[in-house]
Each structure stands twice: as C-alpha cells, then as structure tokens.
Amino acid sequence: MLSPERLALPDYEYLAQRHVLTYVEDAVCQLLENKEDISQYGIARFFTEYFNSVCQGTHILFREFSFIQATPHNRASFLRAFWRCFRTVGKNGDLLTMREYHCLLQLLCPDFPLELTQKAARIVLMDDAMDCLMSFSDFLFAFQIQFYYSEFLESVAAIYQDLLSGKNPNTVIVPTSSSGQHRHRPSTGEAGTPEGVEASLFYQCLENLCDRHKYSCPPPALVKEVLSNVQRLTFYGFLVALSKHHGINQALGALPDKGDLMHDPAMDEELERL
C-alpha cells in the first residue's frame, strides 16, 4: 500500500530518505572508473546492473569503507554479505581471534578499520584480553551492533560516562553549596558499591538521544525492554544485551535469528550444483 506521506514530502527530503543521490553519485563514480570498458549503448545497462546490485545488496563487495558505511542499507548489506560468505566458519565450530575476524572483514573491504573490529570484540570479551577466541555467532551479533549503530553507541558511551561521574545530562544544574561535589564511581564493582548506572535513568537519557538524532537508533521500545529487566547495568552489559536481543536483530533485518545462522538453503543449493 502506498503511504501518502512520501507524496507530500519536498523533493530533496524524499530523495534523501532513501539516499537516492548517494547511489546516483556512486553510480557515476563507478562509471567513470570503468569508462574504457563501456560502449555508448552499454551505459543504460551499466546503470541497470548498478541499481540492481544495490537492491540485491551485493553492491558493497570489495568497496571502500567510506562507501560501506555511507547508508543504513549499505551497512545491513555488508553484514549480510559477511554472514553469507563466512558462515562456514561458524558451521565448523571454529573459534577465531579478533585479528583473524579482522582479516576476514578485510577480504570484503580492504580498508576496514581495525578500531571497529576491536570495539566489536570488546563487546564479546567484556575486557581487554584482545587475543581471546570468539565464536562466529558471538562475534557476528556484537559486530552488527557496533557497526550498524556506530554513531549511536558513541553517544551512548558519552552519556554513560556522564552518568557514572554523577552528571545527569537531563537535569539543569542549579548552583547550590553542594553542587561542586561529584562522586566518582569505580569502574569495577567493589563489595557493597553499586556498579554501572541506574537502568531507568539511563533509559530516559537514551530516549532523548533517539528523539534528537537522525542516525539509526535501535527501536526505543526494544531498548526499553532491554533496560527494564535490570536495576543497574554497565556499558558493556548494555551492549551485550543489545547484541543478544532477537527483536533488535529482526528490526535491523540483516541477519537471521541466531538459531538459523547456519541455515542458508539458497547457498546450499548453489554449492550442491558445483
């Protein structure tokens, strides 16, 4: 069914919603890079193939990182491609290190930044032991959250730090005699000292964040769900919960449920044909 809203949008906004201009510009770029190979009448065909590959999600293969992260669709397509290409790693039950996963990522994107892979690994490992082994599904779902919601997570980290140091980003500070005191909470819990931040307060700040910013956020209702199960939580506790949440994975729409990760009948069919 057609939604009437998009018919009323101003032209530029309508185009921006689906990043149409991003893809048109990139198509021209690709055309110029391959111009020796294209005849005059092949241009329409070139554009057809380009836009078809965007629809199918294969357009991000072997492209530079700046393009892969340029639109939500690109990010989702990249996640999907990574899953499809390397799910056999999971099938065999192999455990890999962060560096090994990074090599796999670089096969699909030569300039993929190590920093991003490290952040993803930190979600799985919850500490700094960067050479620990991780299962494919653990890494994949953590990577999904880190990569798809990069900007969101950066803001969340800032909010978390503020809350830890006693600053509530929501409140207006009224100068009183006691306002100069901040209690710094230790990052590792000692007996009797509460660790992390209070869940409901954290949620309020995140709700404001989702309202204020244009970039992708996980659906606020699901974030609320994650935060309603606990009283307090740490930053990485929160990220782990996000990465393991089925609803958020489904809302994103790039990867199947964890149970179906190894299930890819289309790929199996193709492999059988070989």
Partner 1 sequence: MAALPVPLPSAKMAAVEKRRQAVAQATSFTDSGRPGVPRTAATAESEEDFLRQVGVTEMLRAALLKVLEARPEEPIAFLAHYFENMGLRSPANGGAGEPPGQLLLQQQRLGRALWHLRLAHHSQRTAFNNNVGVAYECLSASGRKKKPGLDGRTYSELLKRICRDGEAPEEVVAPLLRKIQCRDHEAVPLAVFRAGMLTCFVLLEFVARAGALYRLLEDPGLAMADRRLGQAVLDTLEGALQASDDTAPARYLEAGSRLGPDSLALAMDRALVARRPSAPMTREEFLEKAAALFIAKVKPVG
Closest by Cα among 122, 116, 179 to 148 = 116
Helix ranges, 215-264 (H): 220-228, 235-244, 246-252
Tell me the two tokens of residue 35: 């111009």
Least distance to partner 1 from the beta carbon of 34, Å? 9
Q: Name the residue nearer to partner 1 (CB basis): 14 or 236.
A: 14
Least distance to partner 1 from the beta carbon of 201, Å? 38
Least distance to partner 1 from the beta carbon of 96, Å? 25
Contact 187, 203 (CB under 8 A): no
Task: Compute CA distances 145 → 20, 221, 242, 245, whole Å.
Answer: 25, 17, 7, 10
Burial 110-139 (b: 16+ CB within 10 A, else e): eebeeebbebbbbbbbeeeeeeeebebbbb
Interaction of residue 58 with partner 1, rule CB under 8 A: no
Of the residues 44, 172, 191, 221, which one makes contact with partner 1 according to CB under 8 A: 44
Q: Which stretch binds partner 1 (CB under 8 A): 58-66, 79-87, 158-166, 256-264?
A: 58-66
Tell me the two tokens of residue 249: 């994975």
For 104, phi then psi, to 5°, come to -60, -45
d(CA 72, CA 55): 13
Residues touching partner 1: how many (CB under 8 A)? Answer: 41
Quick note: the x/- pattern for partner 1 over 65-94, rule CB under 8 A, is xx----------------------------
User: Segment 3-42, which members bind partner 1 (CB under 8 A)?
Assistant: 3, 6-7, 9-12, 14-15, 18, 20-21, 23-26, 28-29, 31-33, 35, 39-41
Site residues (vs partner 1, CB under 8 A): 1-3, 6-7, 9-12, 14-15, 18, 20-21, 23-26, 28-29, 31-33, 35, 39-41, 43-45, 47-48, 51-52, 54-55, 64-66, 110-111
